[in-house]
Amino acid sequence: MNHYHIYEAIGRGKYSTVYKGRKKKTIEYYAIKSVDKSHRNKVLQEVRILHTLDHCNVLKFYSWYETSAHLWLVLEYCVGGDLMTLLQQGVYSGRKPQTKHSGRIPDGKHKDAIKNIGGVNLLRLSRIAKSNLQRENEKENYRRPLPNSSKNDEEVKIENHDMELDFNENTEEGGNDETEGTDNAASTAEDNLSTPSKPESELEETNNTMNQSDTSDAVDTPLLDDTKAKEHSSSDHVEGISAAATPPSASPQLKTPRVRDVSGRALDFDGIKSSSDLSEVLWHPSDLSVRPVMPSRKFDKGSDAIPSLPFHAIHPSDFTKTPKDKLDILYNRIISIMNGNVNGEKQNVIRYLEMLSTNADAANVLTNGPIMLLLVKMLRQSKALALRVQLSSLIGLLIRHSTFIGDDLANSGILGALTDGLRDRQEKVRRFSMAAVGELLFYISTLNDSARDNTPQESPCKDSRPSSSWQVPNALISLISSVLRKGEDDLMQLYALRTIENISSHGGYWATRFTSQDVISNLCYIFRAPGKQESMRLTAGSCLVRLVRFSPPSIQHVTEKLPLKEISSGLFKGNQREQQICLNLLNMAMLGSQFLTNFGRFLLPLMEDKNLVSNLISLIEQGSEVLKGKALLFQFFCNARLLSAVDRLSKEKDQYVQHCLQAFVHSVVSTLPGLLETITGDIQQLMGSRRHGLIPGLNSRSSPKNSIHFFPVVLHLLGSSSFKHSVVTAQVLHLVANLLKLTELPFQGRDDFQITLLRVLESISEEPPAINNNPIIFIRQVLPSLAALYKGNKDVDARFLCLKIFFDVMVLLLSEASDDEQRAEDLKSISNVHFLPLYPSLIEDEDPIPMYAQKLLVMLIESNYIKISDILHMKAVSQCFEFLLGDFTTINVSNVMLCLALASAPELETKILSQLKVVRKIGNLLEFVYAKEMEDFIEPTLGLCRAFLLRSIGSRSGFVYSKQPTLLYDGSSEGTMDQQQCIKDIIDFGSNVGVLLELSRSPEVNISDLASECLVLLFKAAPREATMNFLMNLYKVFVFLESGRHSISHLVVERILHALGFSCRQYLLQSMILSICMSDLAKIEAIVSDLRSSSIKNVADASSRVALELQRIHR
């Protein structure tokens, strides 16, 4: 649905709403039907049916989409009226219809069982309500028509001509808010004009009519700066282009740029760059929406026929096609009748002119011709009450529907005449005069706004007075403002409010003219008055927002009349429009805090509101896109629950929400350095108080106010996916490192603050870019402070966090290759000066601290930052091997790796390893990790076995280490053994021959290589024990040779063959008494015979020697 602009609702069914829509970057219009997901089955059935239909008289189906709450059908948009209206007009038989639902359709629909073709029922081949051109014409245009002077049709671009609804927003809200009680009241008034003897309606009855919706006339339209003042309807002229139903306007047009760049106005989000300035991002096009002031003339059913006139009346649709000479004749007849004395004819002429005014082109002609001049003159001179009411109403209608008003009318005295109407003793005259003044002033303000676009000012900051021929006196502005006072007529006030609302949308000069304390006080009163109609209250609130927006200092007066806490109550009591107004006022109060004296006095009650955060979160999670964005910008509370809701907004596709999210993130992040600096100062102040013996409790009344309790905000932000990558900057890291240094010394509340600070650092250390981009801060500030905090800290959680952060940072720094010699020296210093002295304490601490310490020590040894000789003096060797004495279920790889490093280090004497007597435990560990399939442990455990075996046989004189097996070529012993330098319990490895054989056929090359090498070394270190256990596992030898001779490394096969031949030789030499399975031996002999023909020379030679040894056993 992101490919479509969604505009006003054009019809409603029982379960659905139909909107007018346009495909982006085109002038193709569609009817877009929204259905609640609960009716999914019906929608799918409808889609299936529409897919199968293809007929010129059947509504076309294009596509359908699914969103979180609705199903959307994109259908053909048909202009025209409902079926009954078309039949009554004879469209189907007379001329080619503009819509496809005329013609042969009535023949198909009008059967015995289908007779309901009333006006209430629109054509429903798929329950779609068709758009009503006549109704759209009555609404009239609140945008300038397209110029008809385009030389090339391809140059015509449609840019937001229509009233546009937010796609995911509750579209019913706008209709409820834009009440057209004015229209209904106006209709009543006009009915009374036609029958002067009819008694006047009571005020209470008039007020009751204001509750009714005005969606048919008052459209909530984003204000484009290039628009002409009076264009109320939803793009009749655009539809005329697309449907070829309406001829282009012949009236003169103002040519101004379609969109201009105005600071602070969010008009077109496709063209707005991401901004971090909240004052720019805050505003949404709906914040500058404009609505008609003058109520639209509504004709009763059947009364839309042209009234009886003493001359030939031209139909409204043909008025602009009439030649000028015939129009002149018509004007003369109208002027003659209006100057006459026959009241009935005057009323019919006025009624006829009202009908003409609903057509924008006709309204342009009448407004800029002699007819309007006559009406103004009559309004000033007429004494008849009914006539003055009719004249003021007609003038207002013509101005409302006109798209251009010439300068000639400015000299006609129309402003003076309408000003006099505002002072008329008759209420109805005052009402219509107020509406007409509102329409005219809005046109004038827009005209001057356009003029300023085309004439750049000398100074961008200077907002000069308009230079048009229209001069609006201050007396008129004051008169309009006075209507807002308490006790004035409600309908008059509504017209005045809409006038101010529309005019102040331009900001600058026009907004300033209405920005006074009296106006703001009256607006605040109306906005909060419980007895006022909702439409009036919300319009007053909209006026407040616009006036304060363009005059920020006036927020002071608003907050004095409307406390922030009272405004915030509207966030959960009001409808969506009221929520938007309240959020705008709250945001402007925050942004304009410099204009508020003693801002804390206004803010404190708001911060004490326990429901505020929950209400804001509710808006962020469930509100419309506009409310989500504005509620987001108001978040000066960084609550953990709130941030999770903010993170979910990152998935929103709405551009306004994303711009607000970016601005919110930037605004919050930019405040962090200042917050951390303030916290640093507060801690230093607490330390100073401690040194001077002043240590009040943090919660005591005498304790100074500080900002330390705001520090968890940083932790919350780091836990947010929206903030975590923006929070960590070099400046923030430096400040955090300073705070860490301060926590080495005691101060009141240090323990709680220290834990939060360590958690902040933990979150930072989990982001590699934060460390890689700022290694110096971590190496020279953070790591030494962590080591210092660990010492003497009684809190095990704090000690663990210190080591974990130290570990995470060091691991990342060690894994990153760097040619920086100074960095290497710094890391070596950290390892030896800060980490190594702590190691004895770390290894004795509570789990899991020893595991982290051992793992880090192994990495530092492997990286050559710590040498084995550095830890030997700490008597750490026995501690490293102590894990072998306990339960293997609690071991970790670091234990084994550290033991392997020690056993492999030449600095460690062999006799120390022999004294440990852990060979049997190492063998048991190998059996355990193999049985439990602990793959991470197998290779380092085999490496530990190999290290012990090498230690044992390395003490022999003449020993030369070789990867190639030599058992079949050497004697049973190689030189004499130094009993002081051998491992005395090495023979215990003999019981592990079976597992070594199984691991020798492992698919992992390193494991099979290590296992087979350990087997060969075992035969050298303990030949008798190795031989006995090897011959007792002949079946495993057979399995190895059978399955592994084609897939295992040739070196491993050669080693096993050497072990086999050596075992047979030792069996005979030592005259061992063993029970050998001859069947297994026979199978092995057969395989060895095959291997004698191997292409690998060493394997073939070893096989030949083994075959001879096997034959000796048989003999």
| pLDDT of 186 | 39
Question: Which single residue is written with the structure tokens 């009559």?
Answer: 378
Distance CA 406, CA 365 (A): 10
Q: What is the pTM of this model?
A: 0.55
Give the chain's end-to-end CA distance (angstroms, integer). 90
SS (H, E, C) 597-633: CCHHHHHHHHHCCCCHHHHHHHHHHHCCHHHHHHHHH
Distance CA 576, CA 581 (A): 9
Task: For residue 33, say whether it is annotated as part of any ligand binding site.
Answer: yes
pLDDT beyond 70 at 466: no
Is 898 within 8 Å of 857 (Cβ atoms)?
yes
pLDDT beyond 80 at 349: yes
**pLDDT tens per residue, range 529-541:** 888 888 898 999 9
Distance CA 762, CA 901 (A): 29
- From the CA atom positions of the chain, what is the Rg in Å? 45
User: What b/e sequence results for 741-766 when a residue is b if at least 16 CB atoms lie within 10 Å of its CB, and e otherwise?
Assistant: bbbeeebbbbeebbbebbbbbbbbbe
pLDDT beyond 70 at 875: no
Amino acid at 47: V
Distance CA 654, CA 661 (A): 11
Q: How would residue 23 be classed by pLDDT, with cut points 50, 70 and 90? A: confident
Range 694-703, long-range pairs (CB < 8 A, 24+ positions): 695/748, 696/748, 697/748, 698/748, 698/749
| pLDDT of 1000 | 92
pLDDT beyond 70 at 455: no
| pLDDT of 98 | 42
What DSSP state is assigned to residue 286? G
Is 440 within 8 Å of 399 (Cβ atoms)?
yes
Sign of CA dihedral 292, 297, 302, 305: negative
Q: How would residue 946 be classed by pLDDT, with cut points 50, 70 and 90? A: very high
Residues with Cβ < 8 Å from 645, sequence gap 6 or more?
617, 620, 621
Q: How would residue 638 be classed by pLDDT, with cut points 50, 70 and 90? A: low
| pLDDT of 245 | 31
**pLDDT tens per residue, range 356-383:** 888 888 888 888 888 888 888 888 888 8
Question: Which single residue is written with the structure tokens 């009751």?
Answer: 208
**pLDDT tens per residue, range 388-437:** 888 989 999 999 988 888 888 888 888 888 999 898 888 899 999 999 98
Query: Domains plus CATH for the chain?
Result: 4-131 (1.10.510.10), 671-844 (1.25.10)
pLDDT beyond 60 at 974: no
Amino acid at 93: S
pLDDT beyond 70 at 462: no
CA atoms within 13 A on the CB side of 42: 12
* 295-309, 448-462, 748-762: segment of lowest average pLDDT: 448-462
User: What b/e sequence results for 326-356 when a residue is b if at least 16 CB atoms lie within 10 Å of its CB, and e otherwise?
Assistant: ebeebbebbeebbeeeeeebbbbbbbbbbbb
By CB neighbour count within 10 A (0-12 exposed, 13-18 middle, 19+ buried), where does 710 fall? middle
Residues with Cβ < 8 Å from 665, sequence gap 6 or more?
722, 723, 726
* Residue 751 or 151, more confident: 751
* Residue 397 or 147, more confident: 397
Tokens of 85: 């209206």
Amino acid at 671: T
Question: Which single residue is written with the structure tokens 């021959």?
Answer: 993
> In terms of residues, how long is the chain?
1115
Query: Between β-strands 61-66 and 29-36, what pairing exists: parallel, antiparallel or unpaired?
Result: unpaired
What is the overall mean pLDDT for the chain?
75
Is 186 within 8 Å of 217 (Cβ atoms)?
no
* Residue 624 or 938, more confident: 938
Query: Between β-strands 16-23 and 70-76, what pairing exists: parallel, antiparallel or unpaired?
Result: unpaired
pLDDT beyond 60 at 202: no
pLDDT beyond 60 at 121: no
Q: Map residue 20 onto helix, strand or coil.
A: strand
What DSSP state is assigned to residue 832? I
For the CA atoms of 396, 400, 406, 411, what is the dihedral angle to 10 degrees? 20
Q: How would residue 243 be classed by pLDDT, with cut points 50, 70 and 90? A: very low
- DSSP codes, 718-730: HT-TTTHHHH--H
Sign of CA dihedral 435, 440, 441, 442: positive
Tokens of 219: 């459209």
* Residue 752 or 620, more confident: 752
| pLDDT of 631 | 66
- If one counts every other C-beta atom within 10 angstroms of the C-beta of residue 163, the result is 21
* 135-149, 521-535, 708-722, 891-905: segment of lowest average pLDDT: 135-149
| pLDDT of 86 | 60
Distance CA 857, CA 879 (A): 13
pLDDT beyond 60 at 1013: yes
141 bridge partner residues: 232
Task: Work out the widest C-alpha separation in the chain, in whole angstroms.
Answer: 150
**pLDDT tens per residue, range 766-787:** 888 889 889 999 999 999 999 9
Q: How far is CA 1027 from CA 39, 518, 1088, in A?
A: 80, 109, 19
